[in-house]
Structures are given as structure tokens and as C-alpha cells.
Amino acid sequence: MNLLDAFHHHFQRAIGDRHVLLFGENIDNGSMLSGLGKGLASLPNATILNVGNCELTHVGTGMGIMIEGGHAILFVKQLDFLLLALDQMVNTLNSVRAGAPVAGRPLGSFTIVTYLCDQGYQGPQSSMVDLTGFASLGAFPGFLLQEFHQIESVLRTQLFAPGFRILGIPQGISRQPVAHEVPTGSGDGWRIYGTSDGVWIVSCHSTFAQALELRKMLEARATKAAILQADILPGLSVAEVLGSHRPVRAAVVMDDAKGLVKWGDLVVRQMALASPRVPLFFLDRPRNDAVGQDQITWPLESLADQLAKQ
């Protein structure tokens, strides 16, 4: 099962017979948004609406449905297109927080599902993969779907939860076999995979595959490392999560987003302030680089050597 298949499998189960509007450009014909819309027609009580190319209007429509207490899911071909709708995701969302929902009516839900198309998949202009940037501007949650159990958990808990969020699927790995790791612990916005003798790998953005590779290298060096996968969630303190899972004698934070300010930056700051004596490594991609995610050279071997010595 590849990553996209895992998304479809859990999406069908999460929707079930619920009433929801599913809309987007050509989501049930042609390529179905490069496969994102596959299988939507089988959902018995879902209303499917093909719309034109106007993301500002699409996001405003979803916000309006949410304010009225309904449920809407917008499918977008790539994150870049949502730059046109930032006004809705920042200012309209702020007005909702200030009390725009209809009096006496509970807030509904609005979710955007989109590919993150790094350079090389949809042309050189398609290089906006930084979900952190969007989420930080609007102070809303963002989820990078990468692992089988994580996908199930996020879709089950988020699709009909009150409020707004973006779910991103990295297109570069969408047709690759989905990672299938059973979490050994979980909480609101985080999951732990494996057990640790003091070395921790914090996976931010879409670095879960690299985190698994690094853990395997550490195992070959007789070092047990656990992976903490952290969603982009306002208020989440990775330092507090790790503080409750001692010992922590060394940690590495991984982030492959492109923006100047990354989710991993915040995580590093939290951890440095909470445990200034713990050796901390930050592994990220070059800022504003011109290569795709699959072309990044991660120095995992040398990092594994350093971590094994801690």
C-alpha cells in the first residue's frame, strides 16, 4: 500500500455516512487532482462539487460553511495555490475566533487536503512546501501525512473537529510504500515510535522517512533511539513531551521545510531552553535551496556517529 492508498483507505472510514461537502477543481473526473479525489463518489452522504479555479473563493466558502456549523473539505492540487487565499486563512479565521459563529450554533469544521509539490514534480514554480509558514500566519494546525497509523489518527480526530486545519501529502513520496510503524505513545499532536536509551529523533515537517533511516543507522551502532513525530500544532511543547519521557541524553531535530522560520526552529528553541545541557543537533535543508526533497543530501552517517558517542 502506498501513501496515497493509505490516505484513501482511512479517509473513506473517517467520513463513513457523515454529511459533508467535498469540493475542489475536477475532484471526481479526469485525473481527480492527481489521485487525491479517488473514491469520493462511493461515500453515501457526501456532496461532491467540482468548482472553478478560484482558491480565495473556495477557502471563503469553506470558512462560511464552518461558521454556519457545517462540515466542508476542500481538495487542492498543491500548496502553492493556497497563497491566493491567505487573506481568508488569516483574517477571516481571526474574525471567527473573535466571535463570528452564528449565535447558538456550534462551530463546524473546514479542512483543506493538498499535495506539497516540491521542485521537480510540477515545474520550477512549484516549490512552496512550507506548511509551517501557512500555519504560523494563521495560527492553525497543520499535519504532514506520512505514516499509516498517523494518517488514521489525524483523519479520525480532525476531519469533523471544530475549526480549521490543513492536511498535507508530500507528493514526492505519495506513490511510495507507506511507512507502517506502530506508535509506542501518543498525545495531542505527537506520536512516539520505538524506545530509547536516551537518544531522541524529533521529526518535523516531512522527515519521517529520514528519521527512520537514522534510527536504523543508530541501531547498527548499538544505540536505541526513539522517534517523536511532531505535528504543527499551536501550543504543542515538544520539550514538555520529551521531559516526561526521560532519559534524554542527546536529541536531533529534523525539518525539511524551505521557509526562513521552520517548525523545527521553534522545537529547537523549546528544547534548548528546557534542557540547555543536553547535546542538541538540528538537521535541516539549506534555506531557500533550489532542489527537490528527493535531492537533499542528509549527512545521516556522520550524525549517527556523533549521536552514538553521546
Answer yes or no: do 217 and 116 share one domain.
Answer: no
More confident residue, 8 or 310: 8
User: What does the pLDDT look like over 175-209, one tens digit per residue?
Assistant: 999 999 999 999 999 999 999 999 999 999 999 99
User: What does the pLDDT look like over 85-116, one tens digit per residue?
Assistant: 999 999 999 988 887 556 667 899 999 999 98
User: What does the pLDDT look like over 29-81, one tens digit per residue?
Assistant: 777 888 888 889 889 999 999 998 899 999 999 999 999 999 999 999 989 89
Answer yes or no: do 11 and 141 share one domain.
Answer: yes
Q: Which residue is associated with the grid cell 472510514?
A: 13
User: What does the pLDDT look like over 119-137, one tens digit per residue?
Assistant: 655 556 666 788 998 999 9
Q: Residue 60: what pLDDT?
A: 96
Q: Residue 243: what pLDDT?
A: 86
Answer yes or no: do 214 and 162 share one domain.
Answer: no
Write down which residue in 173, 198, 222 finishes a domain.
173
Write down which residue in 145, 173, 201 finishes a domain.
173
More confident residue, 127 or 5: 5
Secondary structure of the chain as H, E, C letters: CEHHHHHHHHHHHHHCCCCEEEEECCCCCCCCCCCCCCCHHHCCCEEEEECCCCHHHHHHHHHHHHHCCCEEEEEECCHHHHHHHHHHHHHHHHHHHCCCCCCCCCCCEEEEEEEECCCCCCCCCCCCCCHHHHHHHHCCCEEECCEHHHHHHHHHHHCCCCEEEEEEEEHHHCCCECECCCCCEEECCEEEECCCCCEEEEECCCCHHHHHHHHHHHHCCCCCEEEEEECECCCCCHHHHHHCCCCCCEEEEEECCCCCCCHHHHHHHHHHHHCCCCCEEEEECCCCCCCCHHHCCCCHHHHHHHHHCC
Answer yes or no: do 163 and 269 share one domain.
Answer: no
More confident residue, 287 or 108: 108
Answer yes or no: do 165 and 18 share one domain.
Answer: yes
Residue 307: name the closest of 230, 191, 204, 202 by CA: 202
CATH number of the domain residue 282 falls in? 3.40.50.920
Gap between the Cα atoms of 254 and 285, Å rounded: 9
- Domains contained in the chain, number: 2
Answer yes or no: do 82 and 165 share one domain.
Answer: yes
User: What does the pLDDT look like over 258-276, one tens digit per residue?
Assistant: 878 889 999 999 999 998 8
Q: Residue 260: what pLDDT?
A: 80
The pTM of this model reads 0.93
Q: Residue 258: what pLDDT?
A: 80
Gap between the Cα atoms of 254 and 283, Å rounded: 5
Answer yes or no: do 120 and 227 share one domain.
Answer: no
Q: Residue 30: what pLDDT?
A: 72
Domain of residue 147 covers: 3-173
Q: Are 87 and 173 in contact (CB under 8 A)?
A: no
Residue 204 lies in a domain: yes
Write down which residue in 173, 193, 221 finishes a domain.
173
